[in-house]
């Protein structure tokens, strides 16, 4: 049987109230008594069930999610998953709120992070803009003992505790292999639509994509990246202009401006065959898969990312270990034939 606080009290010759003070690091215990209790804890091999203790005390975890204010379907879906988590708050003992900041704006993100340092939430999850000032702000918060999780887009090189998202280099490599295999022996040019090179997930997807294309599909030339800022209107304009180039035979959309992409494809590519790979399964990309406007979708499970971020933040707030295998976010590949 696992040792209990009653066993500790008996071994140390003290009251249960004294054991409770020592376990919770409260004052009012003489040093010699504290040492007796700590010795009994070590000798008995007592491991405290922090989650159970917090449940008994009715502890609530105030958590903050920082998201970009963006009119794209993936972020709408991520917001919806957070709202579902808020619905579960009473059962999960969380108090969750979201803060939106302008997309791809490091200064605005830093201002929010600095404001949160005064509010003292139990944990912060953020979609990171990869900039030195953001990294510095995250590092300051971690040094002040704030649990930090990056969501969807990482902040490599920072002190953040965990990243809840897919391996984006692997995602880009997968997209390149699919596109190259689908195109077969054809030669031509590939248009790439991104949101912004300010976010690491887009840079890493591009890195993985270009590496495989150069290694294995040298007859396919990658054109300069179109940065649509994950805005459907900007994406539509950029893609429509690019499709005036008759040499384009494939498109890789590595960001989230897919509504604009789909509209441009339907308007400008009706008289030729294009192979198109995009990210994130939404109502719009699902329809585009079904009608053959898009050939394959690489998807990350936004609900899993939100649940993972919450689990990790609660564990870090309690000083508990994270189960890495449980928190791994997989990359799904969807064709029209295997849609869920």
- The predicted pLDDT at position 79 comes to 96
64 with 154, same domain? yes
Residue 48 has pLDDT above 70, yes or no: no
In this structure, is residue 340 part of a structural domain? no
- The predicted pLDDT at position 326 comes to 87
Residue 55 has pLDDT above 90, yes or no: no
Residue 57 has pLDDT above 60, yes or no: no
- Rounded CA-CA distance 41/153 in Å is 42
84 with 203, same domain? no
Which of 37-41, 84-88, 162-166, 296-300 is the least confident region? 37-41
Supply the range of the domain harboring residue 282.
168-300
- The predicted pLDDT at position 333 comes to 98
199 with 79, same domain? no
The whole-model pTM stands at 0.83
Domain count, the chain: 3
One DSSP character per residue, 145-205 reads T--EEEESS--TTS--SEEES--HHHHHHHHHHHHHHHHTT--EEEEEEES-TTSHHHHHH
pLDDT digits (tens, 9 = 90+) for 187-217: 999 999 999 999 999 999 999 999 999 999 9
296 with 307, same domain? no
In this structure, is residue 214 part of a structural domain? yes
In this structure, is residue 182 part of a structural domain? yes
16-23 vs 31-44: helix crossing angle, rounded to 10: 90
183 with 286, same domain? yes
Residues ≥6 apart with Cβ < 8 Å to 292:
336
- The predicted pLDDT at position 265 comes to 97
175 with 293, same domain? yes
């Amino acid at each position: 049987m696992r040792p209990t606080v009653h066993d500790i009290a008996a071994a140390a010759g003290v009251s249960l109230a004294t054991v409770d003070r020592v376990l919770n690091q409260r004052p009012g215990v003489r040093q010699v008594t504290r040492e007796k209790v700590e010795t009994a804890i070590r000798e008995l091999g007592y491991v405290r069930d922090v989650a159970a203790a917090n449940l008994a005390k009715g502890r609530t975890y105030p958590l903050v999610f920082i998201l970009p204010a963006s009119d794209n379907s993936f972020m709408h879906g991520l917001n919806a998953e957070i709202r579902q988590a808020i619905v579960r708050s009473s059962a999960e003992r969380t108090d969750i709120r979201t803060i939106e900041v302008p997309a791809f704006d490091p200064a605005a993100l830093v201002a929010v992070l600095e404001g949160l340092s005064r509010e003292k939430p139990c944990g912060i999850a953020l979609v990171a803009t990869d900039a030195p000032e953001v990294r510095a702000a995250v590092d300051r918060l971690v040094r002040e003992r704030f649990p930090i999780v990056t969501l969807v887009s990482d902040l490599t090189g920072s002190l953040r505790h965990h990243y809840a998202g897919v391996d984006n280099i692997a995602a880009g490599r997968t997209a390149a292999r699919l596109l190259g295999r689908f195109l077969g022996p054809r030669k031509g040019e590939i248009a790439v639509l991104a949101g912004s090179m300010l976010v690491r997930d887009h840079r890493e997807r591009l890195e993985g994509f270009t590496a495989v294309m150069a290694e294995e599909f040298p007859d396919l030339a990658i054109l300069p990246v179109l940065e649509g800022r994950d805005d459907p209107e900007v994406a539509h304009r950029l893609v429509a202009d690019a499709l005036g180039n008759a040499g384009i035979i494939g498109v890789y959309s590595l960001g989230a401006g897919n509504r604009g992409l789909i509209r441009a494809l339907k308007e400008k590519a009706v008289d030729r065959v294009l192979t198109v790979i995009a990210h994130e399964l939404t109502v719009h990309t699902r329809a585009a898969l079904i009608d053959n406007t898009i050939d394959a979708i690489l998807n990350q499970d936004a609900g899993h990312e939100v649940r993972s971020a919450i689990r990790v933040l609660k564990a870090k707030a309690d000083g508990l270990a994270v189960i890495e295998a449980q928190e791994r976010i997989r990359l799904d590949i969807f064709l029209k034939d295997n849609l869920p």
